[in-house]
Amino acid sequence: MGHRVRFVKSLFKWTHEEGFILKNPAAKLKEPKLGKRIPKFLSEHEIEHLREGCHTSMENALFEFFYSTGCRIGEVAKLNRDDINFTENSVIVHGKGDKEREVYFNIRCAIWLKRYLDERVDDEHCLFVTERKPIRRMSVDT
């Protein structure tokens, strides 16, 4: 319904601006209010299936980090190794609008992050890197 209202408003606005009609009859039309959606979440069973699908320490570290912090992909892609605070199990992420917030991760995530970082042989300062050569920062597109 909202799409139809926007279409009608757009059509009448254009015809009014082009001079085909003197008054825009759709000027006061309102779009229908959308109800709030309840977020979908994964069951424990689905989470365990995803964990079983992780084969490398990087996949495990990445999955556990997303799962325990709730960070967005873009926020994780910007992180560097030295951003991780293992004593507090926390990290400061830069979110939308360049807003900073501190997020916490669980013990399982800390174990996988340490294992992943210990296995890495590159000198890249970013937290997650691509597996293919040349090694560089993992991005949203990767």
Class of domain 44-119: mainly alpha
> Residue 67 and residue 109: Cα distance in Å, rounded?
9
Per-residue pLDDT of the chain (142 residues; tens, 9 = 90+): 889 999 999 999 999 999 999 999 998 998 888 888 888 888 999 999 999 999 999 999 999 999 999 999 989 999 999 999 999 999 999 888 888 999 999 999 999 999 999 999 888 899 998 887 777 888 777 5
Residues 6+ apart with CB under 8 A from 50: 42, 63
Residues of each domain in the chain carrying CATH 1.10.443.10: 44-119
Burial class for 83, CB neighbours closer than 10 Å (0-12, 13-18, 19+): middle
The answer to whether 32 and 2 have CB atoms below 8 angstroms apart is: yes
